[in-house]
Amino acid sequence: MLSILIPTYNYNAHPLVSELHRQAENEGIVYEVLCFDDGSTLEIVENQKINSLTNSTFKKFDSNIGRTAIRNLMAQKASFEYLLFLDADMFPKSADFLKNYVAELHISKDSQAVFGGCAYNSLNQKRDLLRFRYGQKREEQPAILRNKKPYKNIYSGNVLIHKPLFIATNTILKSRYGLDLFFSSQLHRIKCIPKHIDNEVYHNGLESNAAFLKKSKEGVKTIWWLYKNNHISEEQSQLIVAHRWLKKWKVVKLFRVLGSVFIDPVERLLKKNKAPLVFFDFYRLYYYVTSKGVQ
């Protein structure tokens, strides 16, 4: 019935797989767990323990091909019609996590893509981390809000999806950070309306502020690359909307000049703790506007 697919890179996925295995066995679900390692150098011994669990397979690859490519490989290898993708640094918020997804399959056969959402547990995280504060304020939303704009709140680190649909929409296999926008655009293109439910996973593997800022720069470049190549529309990113506003009022050059003065002190503040999130918004917009090719 269900193929649970967990790509991992330098992260111990064994606790996650153990919990999913426990839930699946308790519910009598027909399932398999595939955990594919994308060229890791760490946590290999711990992850190999996954092979001792029923219906669970850990496989290590020597080279790193990137998150989207290895997810595509896992989908091709999956035995069942429905795929549950989870990132390795997630953990179910509910003991009924798998039960909720299986119930969704019975409730709505037409829901080909069901997103459970994500949450941030303040009990085991540093609450002043930028990644934690951003996730809690901007990403952690109940399903009733996510369903109002279903294409905006796409989070592929916790999604139940029909196998043919995933293979049809996961067509960019380059290793780029921040391709959920493209995934959303693909769903919209084929008129598949995603469904959001309250079945969150805790996001546990939070980066340092410096690492998150570096990833955010990469994500900004991905947004520009997607937009430049007509993979997403203007309305899909607030960065594109903000840049369009700057162009409308002919202040792009002024923003670049002023931004160049403030970007270094803003980055230093963001690397410290508790800088306002509006500083992070400025940071991302500056690097979008100064991306190569942006006019």
Tell me the domains of the chain and their CATH numbers: 2-203 (3.90.550.10), 209-289 (no CATH)
Residue 255's alpha-carbon distances to 142, 238, 266, in angstroms, are 35, 16, 15
- Give pLDDT tens digits for 94-142: 999 999 999 998 876 667 999 999 999 887 677 789 999 999 999 999 9
Give the residue with greater pLDDT, 84 vs 43: 84
More confident residue, 292 or 179: 179
pLDDT reported for residue 127: 72
H-type helices in the chain, by residue range?
14-27, 44-48, 67-77, 97-107, 130-134, 143-146, 163-169, 180-189, 209-228, 238-248, 252-271, 277-289
pLDDT at 137: 94
pLDDT score of 273 more than 90: no
DSSP state for residue 217 in the 8-state scheme: H
Q: Are 120 and 155 in contact (CB under 8 A)?
A: no
Strand-pair partners of 161? 83, 113
The reported pLDDT for the residue numbered 295 is 67
Name the more confident of 176 and 7.
Answer: 7
pLDDT, tens digit (0-9, with 9 covering 90-100), for 197-235: 999 999 998 999 999 999 999 999 999 999 999 999 998
pTM of the model: 0.94
- The mean per-residue pLDDT over the stretch 257-270 comes to 96
